[in-house]
Structure 1
Amino acid sequence: MGLEQFSTLLSATAYDFTNSLPAELLLTSEGNLQTFYAPFDYINTGARIVICGITPGLQQASRALDEACKQLRQGASIEQAKEVAKATASFAGPMRNNLVNMLDHVGVHMLLGIDSCARLFDTHRHLVHYTSALRYPVFIDGQNYSGSPAILSRSSLRRQVETHLAEEISVLGPKCMYIPLGPKVSEVFQHLQATGLLKAEQILDGLPHPSGANAERISYFLGNKSREKLSAKTNPAALDSAKARILGKLAKLQKADSF
Protein backbone atom coordinates (compact mmCIF):
# COMPACT_ATOMS: atom_id res chain seq x y z
CA MET A 1 0.00 0.00 0.00
CA GLY A 2 1.39 3.39 -0.93
CA LEU A 3 0.79 6.75 -2.53
CA GLU A 4 0.25 5.04 -5.89
CA GLN A 5 -3.01 3.55 -4.64
CA PHE A 6 -4.21 6.85 -3.20
CA SER A 7 -2.90 9.31 -5.79
CA THR A 8 -6.14 9.65 -7.75
CA LEU A 9 -8.18 9.95 -4.57
CA LEU A 10 -5.90 12.58 -3.04
CA SER A 11 -5.42 14.66 -6.15
CA ALA A 12 -9.08 14.69 -7.09
CA THR A 13 -10.76 15.10 -3.69
CA ALA A 14 -10.59 18.04 -1.31
CA TYR A 15 -9.89 16.83 2.23
CA ASP A 16 -9.26 18.61 5.50
CA PHE A 17 -6.72 16.46 7.33
CA THR A 18 -6.39 18.81 10.31
CA ASN A 19 -8.54 16.96 12.83
CA SER A 20 -8.65 13.40 11.52
CA LEU A 21 -7.64 11.18 8.60
CA PRO A 22 -10.32 9.89 6.21
CA ALA A 23 -11.51 6.31 6.42
CA GLU A 24 -10.25 5.70 2.88
CA LEU A 25 -6.68 5.86 4.26
CA LEU A 26 -7.22 3.26 6.99
CA LEU A 27 -4.68 0.42 6.64
CA THR A 28 -5.24 -1.79 9.70
CA SER A 29 -7.25 -1.98 12.91
CA GLU A 30 -6.25 -4.02 15.95
CA GLY A 31 -8.44 -3.48 18.97
CA ASN A 32 -8.28 0.21 19.82
CA LEU A 33 -5.27 0.74 17.53
CA GLN A 34 -5.69 2.10 14.01
CA THR A 35 -3.00 2.61 11.38
CA PHE A 36 -3.58 5.04 8.50
CA TYR A 37 -1.68 5.67 5.32
CA ALA A 38 0.30 8.90 4.96
CA PRO A 39 3.13 9.46 2.46
CA PHE A 40 6.18 8.55 4.52
CA ASP A 41 7.37 5.88 2.06
CA TYR A 42 10.37 7.69 0.58
CA ILE A 43 13.80 6.24 1.46
CA ASN A 44 16.89 8.41 1.01
CA THR A 45 19.27 5.65 -0.03
CA GLY A 46 22.31 7.96 0.16
CA ALA A 47 21.81 8.88 3.82
CA ARG A 48 24.64 8.68 6.34
CA ILE A 49 22.42 9.17 9.37
CA VAL A 50 18.88 8.06 10.23
CA ILE A 51 16.67 9.88 12.73
CA CYS A 52 13.90 7.59 13.96
CA GLY A 53 10.83 8.58 15.96
CA ILE A 54 7.94 6.43 17.18
CA THR A 55 5.32 7.16 14.54
CA PRO A 56 4.09 10.23 12.66
CA GLY A 57 1.45 12.08 14.66
CA LEU A 58 -1.68 13.65 13.24
CA GLN A 59 0.08 17.00 12.69
CA GLN A 60 2.89 15.38 10.70
CA ALA A 61 0.51 13.14 8.77
CA SER A 62 -1.75 16.05 7.82
CA ARG A 63 1.23 18.11 6.63
CA ALA A 64 2.54 15.21 4.55
CA LEU A 65 -0.86 14.54 3.00
CA ASP A 66 -1.47 18.24 2.26
CA GLU A 67 1.93 18.51 0.59
CA ALA A 68 1.42 15.31 -1.40
CA CYS A 69 -1.94 16.62 -2.66
CA LYS A 70 -0.30 19.90 -3.65
CA GLN A 71 2.53 18.16 -5.47
CA LEU A 72 0.22 15.79 -7.34
CA ARG A 73 -2.07 18.61 -8.43
CA GLN A 74 0.98 20.49 -9.74
CA GLY A 75 1.93 17.51 -11.86
CA ALA A 76 4.69 15.98 -9.76
CA SER A 77 5.46 12.28 -10.12
CA ILE A 78 4.55 9.86 -7.34
CA GLU A 79 8.20 9.63 -6.24
CA GLN A 80 8.64 13.41 -6.25
CA ALA A 81 5.45 13.86 -4.22
CA LYS A 82 6.63 11.26 -1.68
CA GLU A 83 10.03 12.87 -1.27
CA VAL A 84 8.78 16.44 -0.86
CA ALA A 85 5.90 15.42 1.42
CA LYS A 86 8.19 13.50 3.75
CA ALA A 87 10.81 16.26 3.91
CA THR A 88 8.11 18.85 4.65
CA ALA A 89 6.49 16.92 7.48
CA SER A 90 9.29 14.95 9.17
CA PHE A 91 9.87 16.07 12.75
CA ALA A 92 7.97 19.26 12.00
CA GLY A 93 7.08 21.71 14.74
CA PRO A 94 8.88 22.59 18.00
CA MET A 95 10.48 19.14 18.30
CA ARG A 96 12.74 19.94 15.33
CA ASN A 97 14.56 22.68 17.26
CA ASN A 98 14.97 20.43 20.30
CA LEU A 99 16.34 17.65 18.11
CA VAL A 100 18.83 19.93 16.36
CA ASN A 101 20.05 21.35 19.68
CA MET A 102 20.70 17.89 21.13
CA LEU A 103 22.43 16.55 18.02
CA ASP A 104 24.68 19.60 17.87
CA HIS A 105 25.36 19.33 21.60
CA VAL A 106 26.90 15.85 21.24
CA GLY A 107 28.74 16.77 18.04
CA VAL A 108 26.86 14.90 15.33
CA HIS A 109 27.20 17.96 13.07
CA MET A 110 31.00 17.72 13.28
CA LEU A 111 30.94 14.05 12.31
CA LEU A 112 28.86 14.98 9.27
CA GLY A 113 31.05 17.96 8.38
CA ILE A 114 28.30 20.57 8.64
CA ASP A 115 27.95 23.69 10.80
CA SER A 116 24.74 22.49 12.47
CA CYS A 117 22.30 19.61 12.25
CA ALA A 118 19.74 22.24 11.25
CA ARG A 119 21.25 21.78 7.77
CA LEU A 120 19.78 18.24 7.75
CA PHE A 121 16.41 19.91 7.23
CA ASP A 122 17.45 22.26 4.42
CA THR A 123 20.74 22.37 2.49
CA HIS A 124 22.02 18.93 3.53
CA ARG A 125 18.88 16.80 3.47
CA HIS A 126 20.78 14.36 1.27
CA LEU A 127 22.75 13.24 4.36
CA VAL A 128 19.74 12.17 6.42
CA HIS A 129 16.88 9.72 6.26
CA TYR A 130 13.93 10.61 8.47
CA THR A 131 11.82 7.68 9.58
CA SER A 132 9.80 6.14 12.42
CA ALA A 133 9.71 2.75 14.09
CA LEU A 134 6.15 2.72 12.75
CA ARG A 135 6.29 4.22 9.26
CA TYR A 136 2.59 5.04 9.07
CA PRO A 137 0.63 7.05 11.67
CA VAL A 138 -0.90 5.00 14.47
CA PHE A 139 -3.69 6.17 16.74
CA ILE A 140 -5.00 4.65 19.95
CA ASP A 141 -8.61 5.47 20.78
CA GLY A 142 -8.34 8.22 18.17
CA GLN A 143 -5.32 9.88 19.81
CA ASN A 144 -1.67 9.91 18.74
CA TYR A 145 0.06 6.67 19.75
CA SER A 146 3.04 7.33 22.04
CA GLY A 147 4.46 3.88 22.67
CA SER A 148 1.93 2.15 24.92
CA PRO A 149 1.08 -0.70 24.53
CA ALA A 150 4.65 -1.64 23.60
CA ILE A 151 5.34 -1.64 19.87
CA LEU A 152 6.52 -5.24 19.75
CA SER A 153 3.57 -6.50 21.79
CA ARG A 154 0.94 -5.91 19.10
CA SER A 155 1.00 -7.78 15.80
CA SER A 156 -0.04 -4.83 13.60
CA LEU A 157 2.72 -2.68 15.07
CA ARG A 158 5.39 -5.38 15.11
CA ARG A 159 4.60 -6.07 11.45
CA GLN A 160 5.43 -2.46 10.57
CA VAL A 161 8.80 -2.81 12.32
CA GLU A 162 9.69 -6.13 10.74
CA THR A 163 8.62 -5.14 7.24
CA HIS A 164 8.94 -1.39 6.65
CA LEU A 165 11.69 -0.45 9.13
CA ALA A 166 13.67 -3.62 8.44
CA GLU A 167 13.40 -2.91 4.71
CA GLU A 168 14.78 0.60 5.19
CA ILE A 169 17.73 -0.65 7.25
CA SER A 170 18.56 -3.26 4.64
CA VAL A 171 18.46 -0.69 1.83
CA LEU A 172 20.56 1.85 3.73
CA GLY A 173 23.41 -0.57 4.40
CA PRO A 174 25.80 -1.34 7.28
CA LYS A 175 27.57 2.05 7.54
CA CYS A 176 24.53 4.15 8.32
CA MET A 177 24.19 5.56 11.86
CA TYR A 178 20.83 5.43 13.64
CA ILE A 179 19.44 7.79 16.26
CA PRO A 180 16.33 6.33 17.94
CA LEU A 181 14.35 9.00 19.75
CA GLY A 182 13.24 7.90 23.19
CA PRO A 183 13.26 4.56 25.05
CA LYS A 184 10.31 3.08 23.15
CA VAL A 185 12.17 3.37 19.87
CA SER A 186 15.42 2.19 21.46
CA GLU A 187 13.63 -1.05 22.43
CA VAL A 188 12.79 -1.61 18.78
CA PHE A 189 16.40 -1.07 17.73
CA GLN A 190 17.65 -3.44 20.42
CA HIS A 191 15.29 -6.03 18.96
CA LEU A 192 16.61 -5.42 15.45
CA GLN A 193 20.18 -5.57 16.72
CA ALA A 194 19.43 -8.94 18.35
CA THR A 195 18.24 -10.26 14.99
CA GLY A 196 21.58 -9.30 13.42
CA LEU A 197 20.15 -6.55 11.24
CA LEU A 198 22.20 -3.84 12.99
CA LYS A 199 25.47 -3.57 14.89
CA ALA A 200 25.62 -1.92 18.33
CA GLU A 201 28.03 0.77 17.13
CA GLN A 202 25.48 1.93 14.54
CA ILE A 203 22.93 2.87 17.21
CA LEU A 204 23.25 6.18 19.09
CA ASP A 205 20.50 5.59 21.62
CA GLY A 206 19.79 7.57 24.76
CA LEU A 207 18.73 10.99 23.51
CA PRO A 208 15.60 12.25 25.28
CA HIS A 209 12.64 12.35 22.92
CA PRO A 210 12.54 15.89 21.46
CA SER A 211 8.87 16.39 22.34
CA GLY A 212 8.04 19.51 24.35
CA ALA A 213 6.72 17.21 27.06
CA ASN A 214 10.36 16.28 27.75
CA ALA A 215 11.47 19.88 28.29
CA GLU A 216 13.17 19.21 31.62
CA ARG A 217 15.08 16.13 30.41
CA ILE A 218 16.19 18.02 27.29
CA SER A 219 17.29 21.02 29.33
CA TYR A 220 19.39 18.81 31.62
CA PHE A 221 20.87 16.87 28.68
CA LEU A 222 21.93 20.17 27.12
CA GLY A 223 23.46 21.39 30.37
CA ASN A 224 20.94 24.18 30.76
CA LYS A 225 19.46 22.93 34.05
CA SER A 226 21.39 21.75 37.07
CA ARG A 227 20.86 18.40 38.75
CA GLU A 228 19.79 20.15 41.96
CA LYS A 229 16.86 21.85 40.23
CA LEU A 230 15.43 18.71 38.60
CA SER A 231 12.06 17.32 39.57
CA ALA A 232 11.63 13.73 40.73
CA LYS A 233 10.40 12.83 37.22
CA THR A 234 13.86 13.20 35.71
CA ASN A 235 16.61 10.61 36.25
CA PRO A 236 19.91 12.49 35.82
CA ALA A 237 22.08 9.37 36.21
CA ALA A 238 20.35 7.71 33.24
CA LEU A 239 20.77 10.83 31.10
CA ASP A 240 24.44 11.20 32.11
CA SER A 241 25.08 7.57 31.24
CA ALA A 242 23.32 7.90 27.88
CA LYS A 243 25.26 11.04 26.98
CA ALA A 244 28.58 9.39 27.89
CA ARG A 245 27.68 6.37 25.75
CA ILE A 246 26.75 8.56 22.77
CA LEU A 247 29.90 10.66 23.07
CA GLY A 248 32.00 7.51 23.30
CA LYS A 249 30.52 6.03 20.14
CA LEU A 250 30.93 9.29 18.24
CA ALA A 251 34.55 9.59 19.36
CA LYS A 252 35.28 6.07 18.10
CA LEU A 253 33.66 6.82 14.75
CA GLN A 254 35.69 10.00 14.36
CA LYS A 255 38.92 8.29 15.40
CA ALA A 256 38.37 5.34 13.07
CA ASP A 257 37.38 7.68 10.24
CA SER A 258 35.00 4.93 9.14
CA PHE A 259 31.81 6.91 8.96
Structure 2
Amino acid sequence: MSLETFSELIAAAPHDFSKLPEELLLSSEGSLQTFYAPFDHVNAEAKIVICGITPGLQQASRALEKARQKLLLGASIAEAKKAAKETASFAGPMRANLINMLDHIGVHRLLDIDSNARLFDTHTHLVHYTSALRYPVFVDGKNYSGSPAMLSRASLRHQVETHLADEISALGPHCLIVPLGPKVSEVFQHLQAKGLVKPEQLLDGLPHPSGANAERISYFLGAKARENLSSKTNAVTLDIAKEQILAKLATLQTG
Protein backbone atom coordinates (compact mmCIF):
# COMPACT_ATOMS: atom_id res chain seq x y z
CA MET A 1 0.00 0.00 0.00
CA SER A 2 1.13 3.56 -0.66
CA LEU A 3 -0.13 7.10 -1.06
CA GLU A 4 -1.07 6.27 -4.65
CA THR A 5 -3.64 3.83 -3.28
CA PHE A 6 -5.22 6.25 -0.82
CA SER A 7 -4.66 9.65 -2.46
CA GLU A 8 -8.27 10.20 -3.51
CA LEU A 9 -9.59 9.20 -0.09
CA ILE A 10 -7.11 11.46 1.72
CA ALA A 11 -7.69 14.45 -0.55
CA ALA A 12 -11.47 14.13 -0.11
CA ALA A 13 -11.42 13.59 3.65
CA PRO A 14 -13.67 16.16 5.38
CA HIS A 15 -12.10 15.96 8.84
CA ASP A 16 -8.83 16.79 10.61
CA PHE A 17 -7.60 13.20 10.97
CA SER A 18 -7.74 13.35 14.77
CA LYS A 19 -9.19 9.87 14.33
CA LEU A 20 -7.88 7.66 11.53
CA PRO A 21 -10.58 6.61 9.04
CA GLU A 22 -11.46 2.93 8.98
CA GLU A 23 -10.77 2.97 5.23
CA LEU A 24 -7.06 3.34 6.08
CA LEU A 25 -6.96 0.14 8.14
CA LEU A 26 -4.27 -2.15 6.69
CA SER A 27 -4.39 -5.11 9.06
CA SER A 28 -5.76 -6.43 12.34
CA GLU A 29 -4.09 -9.08 14.47
CA GLY A 30 -5.70 -9.65 17.85
CA SER A 31 -5.54 -6.34 19.72
CA LEU A 32 -3.17 -4.88 17.09
CA GLN A 33 -4.36 -2.59 14.32
CA THR A 34 -2.15 -1.11 11.60
CA PHE A 35 -3.33 1.94 9.62
CA TYR A 36 -1.97 3.59 6.53
CA ALA A 37 -0.38 7.04 6.86
CA PRO A 38 1.92 8.64 4.27
CA PHE A 39 5.35 7.61 5.55
CA ASP A 40 6.36 6.03 2.23
CA HIS A 41 9.02 8.53 1.15
CA VAL A 42 12.61 7.23 1.23
CA ASN A 43 15.47 9.72 0.97
CA ALA A 44 17.92 7.45 -0.81
CA GLU A 45 20.68 10.09 -0.65
CA ALA A 46 20.65 10.29 3.17
CA LYS A 47 23.83 10.03 5.21
CA ILE A 48 22.01 9.18 8.44
CA VAL A 49 18.83 7.31 9.38
CA ILE A 50 16.89 8.13 12.53
CA CYS A 51 14.57 5.25 13.38
CA GLY A 52 11.80 5.20 15.96
CA ILE A 53 9.35 2.43 16.82
CA THR A 54 6.26 3.50 14.86
CA PRO A 55 4.43 6.75 14.14
CA GLY A 56 1.87 7.60 16.79
CA LEU A 57 -1.57 9.06 16.21
CA GLN A 58 -0.26 12.65 16.39
CA GLN A 59 2.40 11.99 13.76
CA ALA A 60 0.00 10.07 11.53
CA SER A 61 -2.58 12.86 11.73
CA ARG A 62 0.01 15.50 10.82
CA ALA A 63 1.30 13.46 7.90
CA LEU A 64 -2.19 12.85 6.55
CA GLU A 65 -3.13 16.51 6.88
CA LYS A 66 0.05 17.67 5.10
CA ALA A 67 -0.48 15.13 2.31
CA ARG A 68 -4.06 16.33 1.88
CA GLN A 69 -2.94 19.97 1.71
CA LYS A 70 -0.32 19.16 -0.91
CA LEU A 71 -2.65 17.04 -3.02
CA LEU A 72 -5.36 19.72 -2.99
CA LEU A 73 -2.75 22.25 -4.17
CA GLY A 74 -1.94 20.05 -7.13
CA ALA A 75 1.32 18.57 -5.90
CA SER A 76 2.51 15.24 -7.26
CA ILE A 77 2.25 12.07 -5.21
CA ALA A 78 6.04 12.14 -4.71
CA GLU A 79 5.95 15.74 -3.47
CA ALA A 80 3.08 14.98 -1.10
CA LYS A 81 4.92 11.95 0.31
CA LYS A 82 8.08 13.95 0.94
CA ALA A 83 6.27 16.87 2.58
CA ALA A 84 4.20 14.56 4.78
CA LYS A 85 7.26 12.64 5.97
CA GLU A 86 9.30 15.74 6.78
CA THR A 87 6.43 17.51 8.56
CA ALA A 88 5.49 14.68 10.86
CA SER A 89 8.76 12.90 11.60
CA PHE A 90 9.71 13.10 15.28
CA ALA A 91 7.51 16.12 15.79
CA GLY A 92 7.00 17.54 19.27
CA PRO A 93 9.23 17.41 22.40
CA MET A 94 11.05 14.28 21.17
CA ARG A 95 12.76 16.32 18.48
CA ALA A 96 14.52 18.64 20.93
CA ASN A 97 15.77 15.72 23.04
CA LEU A 98 17.01 13.92 19.94
CA ILE A 99 18.86 16.98 18.65
CA ASN A 100 20.52 17.54 22.04
CA MET A 101 21.76 13.94 22.24
CA LEU A 102 23.04 13.84 18.66
CA ASP A 103 24.82 17.16 19.18
CA HIS A 104 26.29 15.89 22.45
CA ILE A 105 27.97 12.90 20.77
CA GLY A 106 29.11 15.00 17.82
CA VAL A 107 27.12 13.55 14.93
CA HIS A 108 26.82 17.04 13.42
CA ARG A 109 30.59 17.24 12.97
CA LEU A 110 30.58 14.04 10.94
CA LEU A 111 27.81 15.50 8.77
CA ASP A 112 29.59 18.88 8.51
CA ILE A 113 26.74 20.92 9.95
CA ASP A 114 26.65 23.24 12.98
CA SER A 115 23.90 21.28 14.78
CA ASN A 116 21.68 18.29 14.16
CA ALA A 117 18.80 20.75 14.29
CA ARG A 118 19.66 21.36 10.63
CA LEU A 119 18.45 17.84 9.86
CA PHE A 120 14.95 19.19 10.48
CA ASP A 121 15.20 22.43 8.50
CA THR A 122 17.98 23.41 6.06
CA HIS A 123 19.68 20.01 5.65
CA THR A 124 16.83 17.52 5.45
CA HIS A 125 18.56 16.04 2.39
CA LEU A 126 21.11 14.46 4.75
CA VAL A 127 18.62 12.47 6.81
CA HIS A 128 16.07 9.75 6.36
CA TYR A 129 13.47 9.62 9.11
CA THR A 130 11.78 6.29 9.56
CA SER A 131 10.34 3.78 12.00
CA ALA A 132 10.88 0.08 12.55
CA LEU A 133 7.17 -0.16 11.77
CA ARG A 134 6.57 2.24 8.88
CA TYR A 135 2.84 2.53 9.40
CA PRO A 136 1.15 3.48 12.69
CA VAL A 137 0.24 0.57 14.95
CA PHE A 138 -2.21 0.68 17.84
CA VAL A 139 -2.85 -1.77 20.66
CA ASP A 140 -6.44 -1.65 21.89
CA GLY A 141 -6.67 1.76 20.25
CA LYS A 142 -3.59 3.19 21.96
CA ASN A 143 -0.20 4.01 20.43
CA TYR A 144 2.02 0.92 20.17
CA SER A 145 5.16 1.31 22.28
CA GLY A 146 6.99 -1.96 21.70
CA SER A 147 4.80 -4.60 23.34
CA PRO A 148 4.11 -7.22 22.08
CA ALA A 149 7.61 -7.51 20.58
CA MET A 150 7.81 -6.50 16.95
CA LEU A 151 9.29 -9.79 15.80
CA SER A 152 6.72 -11.86 17.71
CA ARG A 153 3.65 -10.91 15.67
CA ALA A 154 3.19 -11.64 11.98
CA SER A 155 1.75 -8.25 11.03
CA LEU A 156 4.58 -6.40 12.78
CA ARG A 157 7.36 -8.70 11.59
CA HIS A 158 6.05 -8.25 8.06
CA GLN A 159 6.61 -4.49 8.29
CA VAL A 160 10.16 -5.00 9.58
CA GLU A 161 11.16 -7.58 6.98
CA THR A 162 9.58 -5.82 4.01
CA HIS A 163 9.31 -2.04 4.43
CA LEU A 164 12.23 -1.45 6.81
CA ALA A 165 14.50 -3.98 5.10
CA ASP A 166 13.78 -2.40 1.70
CA GLU A 167 14.54 1.09 3.04
CA ILE A 168 17.84 0.04 4.60
CA SER A 169 18.87 -1.74 1.40
CA ALA A 170 18.06 1.37 -0.66
CA LEU A 171 20.16 3.57 1.65
CA GLY A 172 23.29 1.47 1.29
CA PRO A 173 26.04 0.20 3.61
CA HIS A 174 27.61 3.57 4.47
CA CYS A 175 24.54 5.25 5.92
CA LEU A 176 24.62 5.72 9.71
CA ILE A 177 21.64 4.30 11.59
CA VAL A 178 20.41 5.70 14.90
CA PRO A 179 17.88 3.29 16.48
CA LEU A 180 15.86 5.03 19.16
CA GLY A 181 15.57 2.76 22.18
CA PRO A 182 16.37 -0.91 22.87
CA LYS A 183 13.30 -2.30 21.09
CA VAL A 184 14.37 -0.70 17.82
CA SER A 185 17.95 -1.85 18.41
CA GLU A 186 16.64 -5.43 18.65
CA VAL A 187 15.06 -5.07 15.22
CA PHE A 188 18.32 -3.86 13.69
CA GLN A 189 20.22 -6.69 15.32
CA HIS A 190 17.75 -8.98 13.56
CA LEU A 191 18.47 -7.27 10.23
CA GLN A 192 22.19 -7.39 10.98
CA ALA A 193 21.95 -11.16 11.45
CA LYS A 194 20.34 -11.31 8.00
CA GLY A 195 23.31 -9.44 6.54
CA LEU A 196 21.33 -6.28 5.78
CA VAL A 197 23.17 -4.01 8.23
CA LYS A 198 26.84 -3.72 9.14
CA PRO A 199 27.74 -3.35 12.86
CA GLU A 200 29.67 -0.13 12.23
CA GLN A 201 26.54 1.49 10.80
CA LEU A 202 24.62 1.24 14.07
CA LEU A 203 24.85 4.02 16.62
CA ASP A 204 22.65 2.16 19.09
CA GLY A 205 22.38 2.80 22.79
CA LEU A 206 20.96 6.34 22.90
CA PRO A 207 18.10 6.71 25.37
CA HIS A 208 14.76 6.99 23.62
CA PRO A 209 14.05 10.74 23.23
CA SER A 210 10.60 10.47 24.81
CA GLY A 211 9.88 12.82 27.69
CA ALA A 212 9.30 9.73 29.84
CA ASN A 213 13.06 9.12 29.59
CA ALA A 214 14.01 12.52 30.99
CA GLU A 215 16.36 11.16 33.65
CA ARG A 216 18.23 8.83 31.27
CA ILE A 217 18.57 11.65 28.76
CA SER A 218 19.87 14.05 31.43
CA TYR A 219 22.49 11.53 32.53
CA PHE A 220 23.51 10.77 28.94
CA LEU A 221 23.97 14.51 28.34
CA GLY A 222 26.03 14.89 31.53
CA ALA A 223 23.40 17.12 33.10
CA LYS A 224 22.67 14.81 36.03
CA ALA A 225 25.25 13.17 38.28
CA ARG A 226 25.28 9.42 38.79
CA GLU A 227 24.78 9.73 42.54
CA ASN A 228 21.52 11.62 41.94
CA LEU A 229 19.97 8.97 39.69
CA SER A 230 16.94 6.94 40.69
CA SER A 231 17.04 3.15 40.72
CA LYS A 232 15.22 3.15 37.38
CA THR A 233 18.28 4.41 35.50
CA ASN A 234 21.18 2.05 34.83
CA ALA A 235 24.20 4.32 34.61
CA VAL A 236 26.58 1.51 33.65
CA THR A 237 24.52 0.53 30.62
CA LEU A 238 24.33 4.14 29.45
CA ASP A 239 28.06 4.67 30.01
CA ILE A 240 28.98 1.60 27.97
CA ALA A 241 26.62 2.56 25.15
CA LYS A 242 27.96 6.11 25.03
CA GLU A 243 31.55 4.90 24.99
CA GLN A 244 30.81 2.54 22.09
CA ILE A 245 28.99 5.24 20.12
CA LEU A 246 31.84 7.72 20.57
CA ALA A 247 34.37 5.07 19.52
CA LYS A 248 32.43 4.34 16.31
CA LEU A 249 32.15 8.03 15.50
CA ALA A 250 35.87 8.58 16.13
CA THR A 251 36.68 5.73 13.73
CA LEU A 252 34.37 7.17 11.07
CA GLN A 253 35.85 10.66 11.45
CA THR A 254 39.39 9.39 10.94
CA GLY A 255 38.50 6.77 8.34
Q: TM-score range by the shorter chain?
A: over 0.9
Match of 1:193 in 2: 192
Question: Which residue type is aligned with residue 79 of structure 1?
Answer: A
Aligned equivalents of 1:68, 1:103: Cα separation in 2: 29
Q: Does 1:225 align with 2:224?
A: yes
- After superposition, the C-alpha distances for 1:98-119 in whole angstroms (9 at most, x for unaligned) are 0000000000000000000000
Structure 2 unaligned runs (5+)?
Answer: none
Query: Residue 17 of structure 1: CA displacement?
Result: 1.4
Match of 1:69 in 2: 68
Equivalences for 1:72-221 in 2 at 5 Å? 72-221=71-220
Aligned CA-pair RMSD = 0.5
Aligned equivalents of 2:115, 2:27: Cα separation in 1: 39
Q: After TM superposition, which residue ranges in structure 1, 4 or more long, deviate above 3 angstroms? A: none
Question: Which residue type is aligned with residue 161 of structure 2?
Answer: E
Number of residue pairs matched by the alignment:
255
Q: Percent identity?
A: 74
Aligned equivalents of 1:190, 1:8: Cα separation in 2: 38
Q: What SS does the aligned partner of 2:241 have?
A: helix
Q: Does 1:6 align with 2:6?
A: yes
**What TM-score do the two structures reach when normalised by structure 2?**
0.99
Aligned equivalents of 1:114, 1:219: Cα separation in 2: 24
Question: Which residue type is aligned with residue 193 of structure 1?
Answer: Q
Q: What SS does the aligned partner of 1:95 have?
A: helix
Q: What SS does the aligned partner of 2:49 have?
A: strand
**What TM-score do the two structures reach when normalised by structure 1?**
0.98
Query: Residue 12 of structure 1: CA displacement?
Result: 1.6
- After superposition, the C-alpha distances for 1:189-219 in whole angstroms (9 at most, x for unaligned) are 0000011111100000000000000000000
Aligned equivalents of 1:48, 1:15: Cα separation in 2: 37
Query: Residue 10 of structure 1: CA displacement?
Result: 1.1
Q: What SS does the aligned partner of 2:125 have?
A: helix
Aligned equivalents of 2:149, 2:183: Cα separation in 1: 7
Aligned equivalents of 1:9, 1:196: Cα separation in 2: 38
Match of 2:236 in 1: 237
Aligned equivalents of 1:223, 1:112: Cα separation in 2: 23
Aligned equivalents of 2:35, 2:16: Cα separation in 1: 15
Aligned equivalents of 1:80, 1:221: Cα separation in 2: 37
